[in-house]
Structure 1
Amino acid sequence: MANYPPPYPPPPAGPPYGGDWRYQRRVLKQQARMQRDMLRAQRDAYRYQMRSTRRSSILGPLLLIAVGVVFLLIQTGHISARYFWDWYGRFWPILLIGAGVIVLLEWAFDQYFHSDDAIPRRRSLGGGVFALLILFGLAGIFFSGMRHGHDIFGHAMNFDQNNLDEFWGDKHESDQALAQALPAGAAILINNPRGDVTVSGTSDDNQVHIAVHKQVYTRSDSEAGNKAQQLSPAITSEGNTLSVTLPSVEAGRADLVITIPPSAATTVSANHGDVHVNAIKAPVTITANHGDVEASAITGAITTHINNGDSSFSAHSVTGAVSVEGRARDLTLSDIDGTTTMNGDFFGTTHLERIRSTVKFHTSRTDFQLGRLDGEIEISHSDISADQVSGPLTLAVANRNISLDRISGDVSVTNRNGSVDLTSAQPLGNITVENRNGSVNLTMPEHAGFVVQAETTNGDVENDFSLPGEEGGNNRKTINGTIGKGGPLVRISTSQGDIALKKASVAPIPPTPPPPPPPISIHGSDGASVVIGKEGLNISDGGGTKVVIDKNGVNIRTHPDGSSVYVRNGTRLITQADGTRVYVGSDGTHLTTHPDGTKEYVGKDGVKIIIRPNGRTVSSPGKPLTDADIDKRLAEAERDADKAAAERDAARNK
């Protein structure tokens, strides 16, 4: 057609491509295929373009980092697992709020910095992040229910080492008893990698008595016997130290009950297990990695290292110094004569009572020192309270409400984000209270003399001493003046809180009592001795016979053959050399226990019961006794006899 000038002639009549309909269909299929490939290419190009503009959210990495850090701190003992999950059960919705805030900030960032982009950016969380958030939400609901005492899944979940041991097989138990002589003046070292340790200074035969209770988990009795044999303690002596060491056996533990002479210095190391020490008249050193520690009736210093945030420490009736270091949950101390030092991280409640020397409490959040404690102190996550304290007292803390009642001597308190309530008692000392974002209430003895300087910002000032208040710039209010004849300086400063200076009748704190006089000792050339002290009288004839008479009316006579007689308030306990024990209660009840297991009981009502290995005889003047009545009478008499024996041992070792 190019040879013809326009207009061009019409095309020839008839269908295109001639009359070949097969060729026509093939061409149409090729065109459809090309169109489909073009649409696919456009779709892939669009997807690639959209993916190139999509950005992953930072929320996922932040969650993983936070979870890893928390579990690392729990595993290393820097955070108490118990209190973390308790806290999480209360505040877990904060996690969802934080996640939402992060996503919102990312959206705002894209809108501000990339709003002019031709193709808008998109943020993607991903299915893994959503799964983590759902998991955290379910965990929060579960621990929230546990906080309120609800059992969400029907059974409380409690996993400990014993639960894990059960996977090794059935539980097999056995016992072992050992004895070892301990030279005079020797120390004892106890190491138990897994199991409880109980040490009592009640041995009066210069020997160490060891009772081992073994627990192993196996599938067969033969293997249980082998593991029980491996759990036998190794007793070695090096220099002036006797060592008792238990091996570490897989799926096995051994609880130790050890009785030692009271004058032996004691060192205990327990990796997984509780430690109990009592009635020791020498220094005590304890290391516990995963377990509670309890010490009582110790005449000597106590040094304790605790390395787990879920463990607790308690000490009662200690005449020496007490030192606690490491990480623990609760601390409970009472009736301590020596200096008390607590240094570390303590995640629970600290309760102190009657500490007759200086107290030092230091953690990453609290620094508390005082001269003497006649009352009690309680330190928790949100509050600190103290009653009847002799200064100097120094307290530096944050985010706590402080209540100090009847505090004498110098006082220095620093706080923020909490209130301070202080009642001072005679004899007065200088008082300094510095607070931020909290009120200060100070009560002084009504007839005391002192000089006051008080200042607050954005708060009010009131006082019961008719001192005029002054107002300055920046919403500052002050009171200054001299009360009575003057005396110690009282300085108070706070912000965002009120100051109240009040007066009341406050009982003075008594002075420190003088130390008791030293005991009087008289010793003869044949080994006989007489010791007179504040607790009573001790007499020894040199041949092994000893008599103890204390101020409470206790009379104890012991003989070289191991027999003894104990009398107190009408109660008598006789222990014979062959092991026979005769108990006579103050109500007339008699119980005689023989080494072969025979028991002879006579009640105050005339009932007679004789239990022999081959049977029993019962004589009752009244109605017949049932088996339950017989068991109850024997159990009560044995309980009273055991109580008398414990009182005898405690009095003998004072």
Structure 2
Amino acid sequence: MSTIPPGSVPPGSVPPGGQQPPYDPKTQWRVYREQQKAAWRAQRDAWKAQRYAYKGYAGPYGPRVPSIVGPLILVAIGVIALLITWGHMDAQQFWEWYGRWWPVLLIAAGLGLLAEWMLDQRREIPVRRGGGFVGILILLAFIGVGSGIANSHWNNWHVNGDDHDDFNSFFGRPQHDQDQQVLNTTVPAGATIQIQNPRGDVSISAGDSQTVEVQAHQIAYANSDSEAKKIFDGEKADVVVSGGTVIVKSPGHNDGQVNLTVTVPKNASVNVEASHGDVSAAGLGAGATITASHGDVHLSNIAGSVQVHFSSNKGDFSAHEVTGDITADGKCNDLTLSEIKGKVTINGDIFGETHFENLTGGVHLHTSITDLQFGDLPGDLTLNDEDLHITEAHGGVRVTTHSKNIDLAQVSGDTYVDDRDGNISIEPAGVYGVEARNSHGHGDIELTLPPNTSATVDGRTRNGDIVSDFPLTVSGDESKTAMGKIGAGLVKITLSTDVGDVRIKRGDEAQGTVTTPPKTPATPKTPKTPKVPAETEEQ
């Protein structure tokens, strides 16, 4: 299409007369303007073609094809909503699950897009995939994060029956109570009793007969008696005997709870699963395995081994007079053990206070902050988020932790302490090896030795003083060392701190009189420092 106006002469051309026409600015401006209009029309046509291609019309970029991931997400949301509406899926359990596993949705969507991309590579004509569902994914991700936070706060509040009462009372739902008919079932000797109660407390005791007796106190939160009856029927407890296994089970109900009081034969092994409620057991003769998701566990007078599994940091665990080993894992609040004659192994996180008394089987406690091992404990132990105090431990003590003040008194056996940002105080009960380190932080070290000590001492501090009641060679200015032997130098004492003082004190005459000179011990291996999560405040 020509862009030269009619009657004008293109620039550079010569008219038929052979003479160049005179320069005309108006003509030149009209030519320039027509050229600009033609360029704009070409650009507009290109934009139209691109827009049509995005709408699905064939073009140089290929047709635009919607992704199947978006419709699949909508179908999944609809199915879940329908199941919850029909009562085939528990809404609270779903949100608890979704608050923990929502990232799986992003993984599944990514895998779906990857599969589509691989299929598109085999097409002869390229296509462009739609991404309109990305907004839905972002919204579902925000809902997942909010659900996780809400579940955490909900579990902290709605952990047992009392909180359930407060919740329903707050919303004006009356409480209905009913005692279920007592269930008596004869069971074979040596049977395993499995108790499953998703909502409500469980209390277990041992009887003299070979029967299982179940007393169930039902609670329903409903606005009418007929509604309460439906809840009672849905959460009713039952007993089933299958060979050597006896199952005591309540299905549970979101609007109620069942408190079970179970009497079992003394020779029966007990396995308890309680989701929302406390568990107490006394007098059992063949041990117990207890899983408590949101509630306390209290044990007393138990013969045999005990395994406890926690999943909430609001439940307490206490055990008194247990003749077997105790193994516990997970998260709990306060931990109290006394009169334990087996080995104690704790692996998890403790958010409250730990107190031990009179343990005779050895202890290994491991959390994300503290790793602690020792032998018998005729005395006591207290551990919280700031302090660790042990009095009268046998078999030596090994501690790896940080940000705690450590006080070890009357320790019979070699002592190893690795701390950071905390003071260390150690008082051996006799002539034993000591290694105490306060590295990468502030903290003093104080060691009180009996007068009859026989040790080789190596003490160091980078920014602090060294004071000794024993004749040692102290040297250095800013960084000081203390070297030398006390007596015959039988055991090795190593003390080091980065920023802090080192004090070696002489104890009284009574200290160390109950022990005999030991053999020279091997240097203890340094345990691995546990990893510390930034967001927790465990022990």
Give the structure-2-normalised TM-score: 0.65
Counterparts of residues 23-38 of structure 1 (less than 5 Å): none
Question: Could you tell me which residue of structure 2 aligns to residue 183 of structure 1?
Answer: 188
Percent of aligned pairs sharing the same letter? 35
Q: Which letter does structure 2 place at the counterpart of 1:478?
A: T
Preserved CA contact (<8 Å) 1:168 1:218: no
| 2:439 is aligned with 1:449 | no
Q: Once the two structures are superposed, what CA deviation does each residue of 1:393-425 show, in whole Å capped at 9, x if it has no partner?
A: 110011111111111211110011110011111
Q: Once the two structures are superposed, what CA deviation does each residue of 1:129-181 show, in whole Å capped at 9, x if it has no partner?
A: xxxxxxxxxxxxxxxxxxxxxxxxxxxxx993223334473211111211111
| 2:309 is aligned with 1:297 | no
Q: Once the two structures are superposed, what CA deviation does each residue of 1:89-119 show, in whole Å capped at 9, x if it has no partner?
A: xxxxxxxxxxxxxxxxxxxxxxxxxxxxxxx
Question: Could you tell me which residue of structure 1 aligns to residue 291 of structure 2?
Answer: 287
Question: Could you tell me which residue of structure 2 aligns to residue 237 of structure 1?
Answer: 241
1-structure distance, mates of 2:325, 2:333: 21
Counterparts of residues 88-487 of structure 1 (less than 5 Å): 160-166=163-169, 167=171, 169-176=173-180, 177-201=182-206, 203-426=207-430, 428-436=431-439, 437-471=442-476, 475-487=478-490
2-structure distance, mates of 1:227, 1:424: 62
Cα drift, residue 209 of structure 1 = 1.1
| CA pair 337-200 structure 1, distance change in 2 beyond 3 A | same
CA RMSD in angstroms, aligned pairs only: 2.6
Q: Once the two structures are superposed, what CA deviation does each residue of 1:231-281 show, in whole Å capped at 9, x if it has no partner?
A: 221211223110001012231101001111111100011000000011001
Q: Once the two structures are superposed, what CA deviation does each residue of 1:592-641 show, in whole Å capped at 9, x if it has no partner?
A: xxxxxxxxxxxxxxxxxxxxxxxxxxxxxxxxxxxxxxxxxxxxxxxxxx
| CA pair 289-209 structure 1, distance change in 2 beyond 3 A | same
What stretches of structure 2 of length at least 5 have no aligned partner?
1-140, 516-539
Cα drift, residue 80 of structure 1 = 9.5
Counterparts of residues 38-117 of structure 1 (less than 5 Å): 72=148, 75=151
Cα drift, residue 69 of structure 1 = 7.4
Q: Once the two structures are superposed, what CA deviation does each residue of 1:507-562 show, in whole Å capped at 9, x if it has no partner?
A: 45979xxxxxxxxxxxxxxxxxxxxxxxxxxxxxxxxxxxxxxxxxxxxxxxxxxx
Q: Which letter does structure 2 place at the counterpart of 1:211?
A: Q
| CA pair 220-67 structure 1, distance change in 2 beyond 3 A | closer
Q: Which letter does structure 2 place at the counterpart of 1:160?
A: D
Q: Which letter does structure 2 place at the counterpart of 1:496?
A: V
Question: Could you tell me which residue of structure 2 aligns to residue 497 of structure 1?
Answer: 500
2-structure distance, mates of 1:391, 1:71: 48
Cα drift, residue 67 of structure 1 = 13
Give the structure-1-normalised TM-score: 0.53
2-structure distance, mates of 1:73, 1:270: 23
Preserved CA contact (<8 Å) 1:429 1:488: yes
1-structure distance, mates of 2:336, 2:444: 30
Preserved CA contact (<8 Å) 2:183 2:239: no
Partner of 1:160: helix, strand, or coil?
helix
Preserved CA contact (<8 Å) 1:391 1:411: no
| CA pair 67-217 structure 1, distance change in 2 beyond 3 A | closer
2-structure distance, mates of 1:70, 1:300: 44
Preserved CA contact (<8 Å) 1:433 1:493: yes
1-structure distance, mates of 2:301, 2:438: 41
Preserved CA contact (<8 Å) 1:388 1:509: no
Q: Which letter does structure 2 place at the counterpart of 1:247?
A: P
Preserved CA contact (<8 Å) 1:442 1:500: yes
2-structure distance, mates of 1:509, 1:269: 51
2-structure distance, mates of 1:510, 1:376: 19
Partner of 2:265: helix, strand, or coil?
coil
Greater than 6 Å deviation, 4+ residue runs = 65-71
Partner of 1:446: helix, strand, or coil?
coil
2-structure distance, mates of 1:391, 1:271: 39
2-structure distance, mates of 1:66, 1:388: 53
Preserved CA contact (<8 Å) 2:404 2:419: yes
| CA pair 74-382 structure 1, distance change in 2 beyond 3 A | farther
Partner of 1:289: helix, strand, or coil?
strand
Cα drift, residue 466 of structure 1 = 2.1
Cα drift, residue 382 of structure 1 = 0.8
Higher RCO (Cα < 8 Å, 6 or more apart):
2
| CA pair 490-326 structure 1, distance change in 2 beyond 3 A | same
Cα drift, residue 217 of structure 1 = 1.3
1-structure distance, mates of 2:514, 2:233: 59
| CA pair 72-441 structure 1, distance change in 2 beyond 3 A | farther
2-structure distance, mates of 1:319, 1:328: 22
Partner of 1:249: helix, strand, or coil?
coil
| CA pair 172-80 structure 1, distance change in 2 beyond 3 A | closer
2-structure distance, mates of 1:509, 1:233: 61
Q: Which letter does structure 2 place at the counterpart of 1:483?
A: I
Residues matched between the structures, number: 367
Q: Once the two structures are superposed, what CA deviation does each residue of 1:545-587 show, in whole Å capped at 9, x if it has no partner?
A: xxxxxxxxxxxxxxxxxxxxxxxxxxxxxxxxxxxxxxxxxxx
| CA pair 405-279 structure 1, distance change in 2 beyond 3 A | same
Q: Which letter does structure 1 place at the counterpart of 2:296?
A: D
Partner of 2:429: helix, strand, or coil?
strand
Q: Which letter does structure 1 place at the counterpart of 2:309?
A: H
1-structure distance, mates of 2:203, 2:334: 20
Preserved CA contact (<8 Å) 2:310 2:329: yes
Partner of 1:494: helix, strand, or coil?
strand
